[in-house]
């Protein structure tokens, strides 16, 4: 069974959300990060960087939430993805974890970038319910989780982006989201 290593209120929720969507069995190994369990040799053997999330799938270990999402999509999603589809998924995961995260959560970038990024997302979501079209998928977990952290961690007015707000609401109604992402 897949082991997901995470801490309380950590980015392990992103991976947990997708594991719940995929409905595959997993064990959540909750590390006490206050007690620095993530820096102990047992966990450093899984992720030498001492960061969560990480997974162990049998003998195979992987860390970085984006890499884990891509691995799970390729191995466990019922869809078989073409090379181009995988590249597009990777594009959105990279966007979520670098461009969007930095543009929203790093204050020095927010004024210059957040509006441009959310306006572009708003435009995409005006014509389709999910990032890749009609079907929910792993790209929505990647981008949706970063969006979901906005109201949890920052006091920002998103009313200029009504389609993004509707999207966040749609994602928030999913049972898998509620199980993993609700704080
Ligand atoms: N880019 C990484 C970020 C990982 C990360 O920074 N995780 C935090 C928890 S959300 C962590 O492990 N912090 C512990 C530390 O830095 O000591 C990912 O998305 O997996």
Same domain, 149 and 107: yes
pLDDT at 169 over 80: yes
Determine the distance separating the centroid of ligand 1 and the alpha carbon of 45, expressed in angstroms.
Answer: 16
pLDDT band with cut points at 50, 70 and 90 for residue 182: confident
Which pLDDT score is estimated for 172?
A: 97
Distances (CA, A) of 132 to 48, 55, 107, 127: 34, 26, 29, 11
Same domain, 33 and 122: no
Same domain, 149 and 90: yes
Mutation test of ligand 1: which of 44, 52, 141 has the most ligand atoms closer than 8 Å to its C-beta?
Answer: 52
Domain hosting 177: range is 83-181
Q: If you average pLDDT over residues 127-133, what whole number do you get?
A: 98
| Residue spans of beta strands (DSSP E) within the chain | 2-6, 26-30, 54-57, 60-63
Mean pLDDT score of the chain: 97
pLDDT at 183 over 70: no
Q: Give the predicted TM-score (pTM) of the model.
A: 0.97
Give the domain-ending residue among 52, 76, 100: 76
> Ligand 1 — pocket residues by CB below 6 A?
10-11, 38, 50-53, 64-65, 97
pLDDT, tens digit (0-9, with 9 covering 90-100), for 3-33: 999 999 999 999 999 999 999 999 999 999 9
User: Percent of the chain scored above 70 by pLDDT?
Assistant: 99
Determine the distance separating the centroid of ligand 1 and the alpha carbon of 62, expressed in angstroms.
Answer: 13
Q: If you average pLDDT over residues 74-100, what whole number do you get?
A: 97
| Cα 54 from Cα 67, distance rounded (Å) | 10
User: Percent of the chain scored above 90 by pLDDT?
Assistant: 98
Can you give the CATH number for the domain in which 169 is found?
Answer: 1.20.1050.10
């Amino acid at each position: 069974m897949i082991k997901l290593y995470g801490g309380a209120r950590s980015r392990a929720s992103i991976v947990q959300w997708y594991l719940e969507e995929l409905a595959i069995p997993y064990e959540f190994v909750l590390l006490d990060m206050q007690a620095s369990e993530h820096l102990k040799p047992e966990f450093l053997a899984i992720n030498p960087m001492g960061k969560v999330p990480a997974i162990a799938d049998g003998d195979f270990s992987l860390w970085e939430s984006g890499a884990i999402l891509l691995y799970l999509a390729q191995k466990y999603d019922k869809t078989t993805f073409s090379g181009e589809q995988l590249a597009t998924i990777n594009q959105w995961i990279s966007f979520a974890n670098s461009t969007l995260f930095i543009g929203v959560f790093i204050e020095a970038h927010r004024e210059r970038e957040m509006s441009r990024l959310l306006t572009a997302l708003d435009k995409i979501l005006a014509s389709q319910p999910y990032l890749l079209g009609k079907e929910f998928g792993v790209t929505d977990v990647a981008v949706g989780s970063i969006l979901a952290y906005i109201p949890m961690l920052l006091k920002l007015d998103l009313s200029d982006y009504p389609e993004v707000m509707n999207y966040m609401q749609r994602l928030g109604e999913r049972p898998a989201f509620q199980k993993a992402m609700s704080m």
